[in-house]
Chain A
Amino acid sequence: MTISAIDAAPSDALIQTDHAPAISASNVSKRYGPVSALEGLTLDIHAGEVFGLLGPNGSGKTTFMRLLAGYLLPSAGRLMVAGHDVVGDSLAVRRHIGYVPEAAPLYRQMRVGEFLAFMARLRGVPERNVKGAVERIVDRLALSAVADKPTRALSRGYRQRTALAQALVHDPDILILDEPSNGLDPRQIIEMRQLIRSLAGRHTVLISSHILSEVEKTCDRVAVLLNGRLLGVRAMADTPDLEAWFLSLA
């Protein structure tokens, strides 16, 4: 089933492209024993768009992101990322993505610059390019003030930005951000939103959130998940009242 088959909104057809989707999920399920975390999810995400996953805690957003990132494997269905199967060609998938888990984990014993260099090397940036890649991302995300600080000494805002920097340091095609505004103050939320918007076009960005206004202001399209099921997908341009639409589904 394609995205247009799930959501009957005519506006979706307008933003479909002829290109292969950056992310394509076909009837994907994830079960933990008898518990189903994700059930029959079918969804296409286009290259260059900022796509939001909206849903309450436990709706399956994190599970879907972990499946895309290769941290979990699907119990059923087919999941393609950048043209590669997440099960059959997991390493190739992981080369194409940058991933920020919800907790924005960092190695506490490392300094920010050292951590970014480590992640760049791990993600396959050639040794001769590591220094330049780290300098570029430190500059781009305004991390120079804390580049020599241990990550354990960072404020929540800098932690989140450093976590985003490690996901971007190798310039991936696809960026997966699990609750990127979590724990940030209002100013930091605005900065994070601007940052994510600035990535659109060059990167495909998938974010999850349970905050309607954040998704509304950040995303090109949004999907609503509830109890592991996809309830609908809409383009933000065609959704004047996200809250009303969300309530009509959930």
Chain B
Amino acid sequence: MLLALAAVPVVFLLVFYAWPFATLLERAISTDAITTTLSRRRTWSVAWFTLWQATASTALTLLVGFLPAYVIARYRFAGRRLLVGLLTSVFVLPTVVVGAALLAVLPESLERGVWAILAAHVIFNLAVVVRVVGVTWEHLPTDLEAAAATLGASPWQVVRTITLPLLRPALTAAGSIVFLFTFTSFGVIRILGTAGTATIEVEIWRRATQLGDIGDAAVLTVLQLVVLAAVLGWATTSQRRHGRALAIRPVAARARPRTTRQRVLVGTTALATAAVVMLPLGALVMRSFRGSDGFSSAAWRNLGRAEVRPGIRLGVDPLDALVRSLQTAAWATLFAVVIGALAALAIAATGRTGRLLDAGVMLPIGTSAVTIGFGMLITFDTAPFDWRASWWLVPVGHALVAVPFVVRTTLTVLRSVEPRLLEAAATLGAAPTRAWRAVVLPNLWRPLTVAAGLATAISLGEFGATSFLSRSGAETMPIAIERLLGRTGTLLQAQGFALASILAAATIVAVLAVELAGRSGDTPTFGPGAGAGDRTDRRDRARDR
């Protein structure tokens, strides 16, 4: 049974990750490439920059995201879901777009350089912290904190002695995802870095595509993985060590802020978070209205298909690109959720071997998109595996990036399922699968919903992997946007930002829809403890009316 569970994700990883990657390494790597790359001074300055900016970005993001995660997990307030949607949409917008928008709002002195990079990384990844930490926080039993407070602990003491230790696995999980993303940062570095600034990922791209030096690129890919594996190995070990069973309450009662202090806390945090994410989104929309003499709505009036001048069309159909993006996202989400959930179950249920799979699912985000794209190209090139440019290769590429999110969000919750509940069910005579269905399954729904929302969002905004996999026919939104922004002409520029605004809106709607779908399904089947929470929730709602 477990073997069967694990087989699907393992085969998926082997076929779509390990095999192409190994093929590329085998083809490209040579002792010559290894020695030249490792003896190049730039390799080490790039590696050092990559490491420290990722560490700083991760620390800052956790710090900045802590309060919003708390407020969003624990309180009910007007616009809560919208805020989550906004955060997520920023996370998935093509970096080129948010980068350009940030350039528009950052003061001139901060426009380019390390501070701009760190700021962008925090804004981008805030959603990861809020969601991954939030989903655990929702499940933390409030009575522990209440008890501590009753015993006279100050709010700070409660946080330090109760909440933080309980949240630690979630913080590590969120931190490792943010670290992965910022370590492999590409678009942000290219747009906001001063000339010559490069992460290993940027350097790999440059070597592989600009210089045609696949061997050096392959060596750098391995170097990137080694550093990441070291950091993530530490993180997953630590996550497992500190994962503990809590008497979890799926979706603990989310309360309205009652005291003035709570209201101020919730209000300011929500507003500040909204401001941080609205800034680039607002700039985006504003720039779609920019003509050469100031305000112009021409980009929106001529959206897509219209002739901009007699006989001249832009060759971009926003509706078509949006549909293409949504289709791709639907498949990517399906792949990611099925594979991620199976992987999480297998990891949670097995010991040592699970660890391998745990690390394995994280590898694709840590591996340069160029390397995987090029690897797939030379691996899937002969019958019966001639899959190059198959329509499903792009969603599979997206799923590779999204699976770790599904695993992380699901695993944290799975690990905290009280084993005694399973034992109790067994004692009461339930067969293992029956017990599992009654105890574990109900708790899976919520994290899977969150994960599906993230996967959809990741796919909608994915640019890196997409641009290295060959695509036939119509283009996805990020590619269309990039194409418009890369050409001369006021109208094209404005239209690129108009499309980006549409993508942002679509993302917000998609995330909200997935959330709501998850919500409508989650009431009837909750496990022990949930009933009470649920009732409180309903009572609160009744009172609020």
Q: Does A associate with B in a complex?
A: no
